[in-house]
Amino acid sequence: MLKGKKILIGITGSIAAYKIPLLVRLFIKAGAEVKVVMTGSACDFVTPLTLSTLSQQPILIEPYNKVDGSWHSHVDWGRWADVFILAPVSANTLAKMANGIADNLLTTTYLAAKCPVFFAPAMDLDMFHHPTTKKNINTLLSYGNHLIEPQTGELASGLCGEGRMEEPEVIFEVIRAFFLKSSELSGKKVLVSAGPTYEAIDPVRFIGNHSSGKMGYAIAQEAANRGAEVVLVSGPVEISVNHPLISVIKVKSAAQMADACLKSFGDADFTVMSAAVADYTVAEPAPRKIKKSGERLTLELVKTTDILAELGKMKKPGQYLAGFALETENEGSNATEKLNKKNLDLIVLNSLNDTGAGFGTSTNKVSIIFKEGNIVEFDLKPKSQVATDIWDTILSHSKSLSNSKA
Ligand code: CTP
Q: Please, how many CA atoms are within 13 Å of residue 250, restricted to the half-sphere of its CB? A: 6
**Residue 213 falls in which region: left (phi positive, over 0), alpha (psi -120 to 50) or beta:** left
Annotation says 334 is catalytic: no
The reply to whether omega before 236 is within 30° of 0 (cis) is: no
Mutate to test the pocket of ligand 1, among 277, 313, 328 (most ligand atoms within 8 A of CB): 277
| 306 CA from centroid of ligand 1 (Å) | 7
From CA 402, how far away is CA 406, in angstroms rounded? Answer: 6
Atom 20 (ligand 1) nearest CA: 325
What pLDDT score does 27 carry?
Answer: 98
Q: Which of 298, 258, 263, 296 is nearest to 275 (CA)?
A: 258
Render each residue's pLDDT in the chain as its tens digit; 406 residues. Answer: 799 999 999 999 999 999 999 999 999 999 999 999 999 999 999 999 999 999 999 998 987 777 777 777 767 888 899 999 999 999 999 999 999 999 999 999 999 998 999 999 999 888 999 999 999 999 998 888 999 999 988 877 777 778 899 999 999 999 999 998 888 999 999 999 999 999 999 999 999 999 999 999 999 999 998 999 999 999 999 998 878 899 999 999 999 999 999 999 999 999 999 999 999 999 999 999 999 999 999 999 999 999 999 999 999 999 999 999 999 899 999 999 999 999 999 999 998 888 877 777 788 999 999 999 999 999 998 888 899 999 999 999 999 999 887 7
Residue 281: how many other CB atoms lie within 10 Å: 21
194 lines ligand 1 (CB under 6 A): no
> What's the 280 CA to ligand 1 centre distance in angstroms?
11
Helix (H) or strand (E) holding 76: helix 74-80
Q: Is 338 in the pocket of ligand 1 (CB under 6 A)?
A: yes
The answer to whether 234 and 250 have CB atoms below 8 angstroms apart is: yes
CA gap 192, 343 in Å, rounded: 17
Domains in the chain, start-ordered, CATH in brackets?
6-153+161-181 (3.40.50.1950), 189-405 (3.40.50.10300)
Q: Are 323 and 339 in contact (CB under 8 A)?
A: yes
The Å distance, Cα 303 to ligand 1 centre, comes to: 12
Distances (CA, A) of 51 to 14, 56, 108: 16, 8, 21
Q: Which residues contact 284 (CB under 8 A, 6 or more apart)?
A: 300
Q: What is the DSSP string of 295-344?
A: S-----EEEPP-HHHHHHHH--TT-EEEEEEEESSSHHHHHHHHHHHTT-
pLDDT of residue 353: 80
Helix (H, G, I), strand (E, B) or coil at 247: strand
Residue 324: CB within 6 Å of ligand 1?
yes
Residue owning the nearest CA to atom 9 of ligand 1: 308
Annotated catalytic residue, options 92, 209, 334, 343: 209
Q: How far is the CA of 276 from the centre of ligand 1 (A)?
A: 7
Distance 274 CA to ligand 1 centre (A): 9
Complete edge-to-edge strand list for the sheet that includes strand 366-370: 246-250, 229-234, 189-194, 270-273, 320-327, 346-351, 366-370, 375-377
Answer yes or no: is the C-beta of 275 below 6 A from any ligand 1 atom: yes
- Name the nearest CA neighbour of 42 among 94, 99, 87: 87
Q: Which of 257, 261, 308 to mutate to test the pocket of ligand 1 (most atoms within 8 A of CB)?
A: 308
Is any atom of ligand 1 closer than 6 Å to the C-beta of 254?
Answer: yes
Task: Answer for the pair 12, 88: CB distance below 8 angstroms, yes or no.
Answer: yes
Strand 151-154 vs strand 160-164: parallel, antiparallel, or unpaired?
A: antiparallel
CA nearest ligand 1 atom 24, residue? 279
Ligand 1 atom closest to the Cα of residue 325 is 20
Within 8 A by CB and 6+ apart from 62, the residues are 40, 72, 105
Tell me, in angstroms, the distance from the centre of ligand 1 to residue 172's CA.
41
Please tell me the number of Cα atoms within 13 Å of 356 on its side-chain side.
13
For ligand 1, say whether the CB of 335 is within 6 Å of any of its atoms: no
Q: Is the CB of 162 under 6 A from ligand 1?
A: no
Q: Which atom of ligand 1 is nearest to the CA of 322?
A: 15
Q: Is the pTM of this model over 0.95?
A: no
Distance (angstroms) between ligand 1 centre and the Cα of 404 equals: 29
**Cβ(344) – ligand 1 distance below 6 Å:** no
| Ligand 1 atom closest to 275 (CA) | 11
CA-nearest of 297, 288, 148, 278 to 205 is 288
